[in-house]
Amino acid sequence: MSALVSSTGMLKNSLAVAFAPIISAVIPYLVKLIDWISAAANAVSRFFAILGGKKTYTQAIKQNKNYAASLNNVGKSADNAKGSLAGFDDLDVLQKNDASGSGGGSSSGGADGSGFEQADVGVVSDWAEQFKSAVDSGDWYGVGSLVAQKLNEALSAIDWGFIQTQAANFATNLANGLNGFVSGLDWNLIGTTIGNGLMTALLFVYTFLTTFNFEELGTGLADGINGAFSAISWDLIGDAVIPGIQGMCDMVVAFLDELDIFDGVNFDGLREALDGLGESLSPFSDTVGSGLQWFLENVLIPLAAWTISEVLPGFLNAVAGAVDFVNQVISDAQPMLQWFWDNILAPIAEFTGGVIVSVLDGIGDALSWIAENEVAMAILEGLAIAIGLVSAALAIYNVATTVFTAVSTAASAAGGVLAAVITAINWHLC
């Protein structure tokens, strides 16, 4: 156990040493990022203090944590463990720590050690004053304008030239790195490695299947079943079934008799009937086990023997015959299929493929000639203009027809109304 613990500790330290350079390289960037986020949070606190008309605001300050001091307990534990080491163990003390310290050391900022302090909001910018005035007066349009102004300033301050240069440099470096990887990698070796891996797995399966004694496994399983059947007492099966049924009946009667909702109900008749059923089943217990044994020996086993000796071989022979038939059909048809491909399909594919390629080349050459010929382009432009004029004329005609139809409909309606009015007037001329 001591050796395992020692090896585990050595593995942990080895991993720490292996990744220490990476961690050391990343830590400065993480510290910088955290400082930026902290500064942004403090700026937000200051901004809300200005909006509230306060002269001070609460900000978080940096706390200097002493990581080395947290290792004091580790040194103390090592000193305590040194006396329990065997003679062949070796303890290398890299640094002597004062074991009297607590589990960690820190220098907390702030007067009360809480990590926070009160700071003056300082000089308030004109923009902040305008923003505060707009909020106080309820001028939310002005608030939106001021926010848009700051956003415009922030966006205009972005040095896109520098960012694009850096992005292009990164893309170039990444592409060059991948080009070097693709060019230097032995792709044949990759394929060979994959193939050998697959062959190793197949070799494992083949070796196992050809080495394992399946016959011995079958014999062992049969011996196990034989032992199980030889140990089974068929009479005991019957003896166990009948008391189980009687016990269930007694439980049901006792359950119903104990329920308060059935208080006053006489269960003597049910109890006597169940007792009579139990007495009738008692002789049956002697025949249940023997009946099961007879059914197994005279029905199931002969049926299984007939299936194994007659049905299964016939089925396997039918499958083998079907496989032989399909194999023979494929073998006989192969020369005919090869002739059909060589003399019919291949020439057709070659001819049509050549025609398609020639047609595509001709279309490409024609389009290129039209694009380079000024006369042809002028004709096409004239055709396009003419088609456009015709389309416009058709559209105008459709609009005029629609207007004329609407006017005619309105005139007809007006005439109908006028006729109705004239008819309704009772003309008395004299």
Gap between the Cα atoms of 88 and 332, Å rounded: 80
Gap between the Cα atoms of 125 and 123, Å rounded: 6
pLDDT for position 215: 92
Nearest C-alpha neighbor of 47 from the set 125, 100, 116 = 125
Classify residue 262 by its DSSP letter: G
> pTM of this prediction?
0.39
Between β-strands 116-120 and 64-66, what pairing exists: parallel, antiparallel or unpaired?
Answer: unpaired
- The H or E element containing residue 59 is strand 56-60
Residue range 118-143: mean pLDDT, rounded = 79
- Beta partners for residue 59, in sequence order: 117
Structure tokens at 152: 């415009």
Residue-wise DSSP of 61-98: ---EEETGGGGHHHHHHHHHHHTT--TT------S---
Q: How far is CA 331 from the centre of its chain?
A: 48
Number of helices and strands in the chain (H, E):
13, 4
pLDDT for position 98: 47
pLDDT for position 93: 47
CB 103 within 8 A of CB 70: yes
In which band, very low, low, confident or very high, does the pLDDT at 100 lie, cut at 50, 70 and 90? very low
Tell whether the model's pLDDT for residue 388 goes beyond 80. Answer: no
Task: Name residues whose C-beta falls within 8 Å of residue 326's C-beta, 6 or more positions apart in sequence.
Answer: none
pLDDT for position 110: 53
In which band, very low, low, confident or very high, does the pLDDT at 362 lie, cut at 50, 70 and 90? confident
Structure tokens at 116: 């926070």
Residue type, 287: T
Gap between the Cα atoms of 171 and 167, Å rounded: 6
CB 73 within 8 A of CB 99: yes
CA distances from 369 to 189, 356, 378, 407 (A): 49, 20, 13, 53
- Beta partners for residue 105, in sequence order: 66
Gap between the Cα atoms of 372 and 54, Å rounded: 75
In which band, very low, low, confident or very high, does the pLDDT at 281 lie, cut at 50, 70 and 90? low
In which band, very low, low, confident or very high, does the pLDDT at 191 lie, cut at 50, 70 and 90? very high
> What is the four-CA torsion angle of 146, 152, 158, 160, rounded to 10 degrees?
170
Gap between the Cα atoms of 92 and 87, Å rounded: 14
pLDDT for position 269: 78
pLDDT for position 124: 66
Residue range 76-82: mean pLDDT, rounded = 52
CA distances from 177 to 26, 163, 180, 185, 400 (A): 22, 21, 5, 12, 69
The listed range with the strongest mean pLDDT (253-262, 386-395, 415-424) is 253-262
Choice between 30 and 381, residue whose per-residue pLDDT is larger: 30
Neighbours of 289 (CB within 10 A): 19
Task: Name residues whose C-beta falls within 8 Å of residue 294's C-beta, 6 or more positions apart in sequence.
Answer: none
3-state class percentages of the chain: helix first, strand second, coil last, to nearest 5? 80, 5, 15
Structure tokens at 251: 């439980």
Choice between 214 and 380, residue whose per-residue pLDDT is larger: 214
Q: What is the pLDDT of residues 332-350, one digit of tens each?
A: 777 877 777 777 767 776 6
How high does pLDDT run on average in the chain? Answer: 74
Q: What is the pLDDT of residues 155-187, one digit of tens each?
A: 998 899 999 999 999 999 999 999 999 999 999
CB 127 within 8 A of CB 150: yes
Neighbours of 250 (CB within 10 A): 14
CA distances from 411 to 204, 291, 405, 407, 420 (A): 97, 105, 10, 6, 14
Structure tokens at 291: 């009946």
